[in-house]
A = this chain, B = another copy of it.
Amino acid sequence: MKKEIISDAVIRRLPRYYRQLTELCARGVVRISSQALGQEMNITASQIRQDFSCFGEFGQQGYGYNVEELRAEIGHILGVDNGHHLIMIGVGNLGRALLRNFPFSQTGFSVEAAFDISPTVVGSSINGVPVYGMSELDGFVRSHDVDVVVLTIPQSVAQDTANRLIDLGVRGFWNFTNVELSSPGNDDVKFENIHFADSLLTLSYRIANR
């Protein structure tokens, strides 16, 4: 396996490959060529082979790729079989929507707990996930493996909460607060920011400039 620096563009495509391959599996497709896969995904066969070759040799000349095998390989690269643990901070509408509907386990994450300030939800449990008060956060993080924290809290407390968690050793954040979070000088803290507004604005641009 070549261990050079993988470009962000490639990494961003991996989940799409994984998604497509999962669908092909479901359809019962056993093998596929880069050509055929490219057709389905609207990208070139060249790019597919180039992308995969960053991680190893998953195909066979004259045959193509075994769908199930390739899916497993890419899943492995993405870390879906790493058994990552995750907690959620903020159980408002969005937090609840995710707890109820998002397929965390299919993505390789187990949701260990959720935290909120509201006495109305603290002590309850949402889709099997217990909701604790914020005062219990530090203790919980210290005594459990927490790989990723989902931030579904108001903007105003986003960076402070992130800082608190970084101090506790958390190194991954899935951030829905519409604030650009960062941890200057701490390169191994990873943020994945979801900016709903940015997304809608690009759509706005495209329908305005047709």
Contact = CB atoms under 8 A, between A and B. Distances in A.
Given A15-B198, A84-B204, A173-B203, 7 more contacts: A6-B209, A11-B206, A80-B204, A94-B94, A148-B207, A190-B210, A192-B203
Interface stretch (A61-69, A96-104, A115-123, A156-164): A96-104
Given A16-B198, A93-B97, A107-B200, A84 B174 contact: no
* A interface majority secondary structure: helix
A203 B82 CA distance: 13
Given A11-B202, A93-B97, A147 B207 contact: yes
Contacts of A197: 15, 19, 102-103, 106-107
Contacts of A80: 201, 204
B93 A203 contact: no
A172 interface: yes
B14 A202 contact: yes
A100 B202 CA distance: 22
Closest 7 interchain pairs by CB? A93-B97, A79-B208, A15-B198, A192-B203, A15-B201, A94-B97, A79-B204
A129 B52 CA distance: 47
A202 B198 contact: no
Given A93-B100, A93-B101, A96-B93, A199 B194 contact: yes
Nearest to A171: B207
A198 B108 CA distance: 12
A104 to B, nearest CB: 8
Contacts of A207: 79, 84, 147-148, 171-172, 190
Nearest to A18: B201
Contacts of A147: 207
Central interface residue in A96, A107, A109, A174, by most chain B CB within 10 Å: A107
A14 B205 contact: yes
Contacts of A210: 171, 188, 190
A94 B98 CA distance: 8
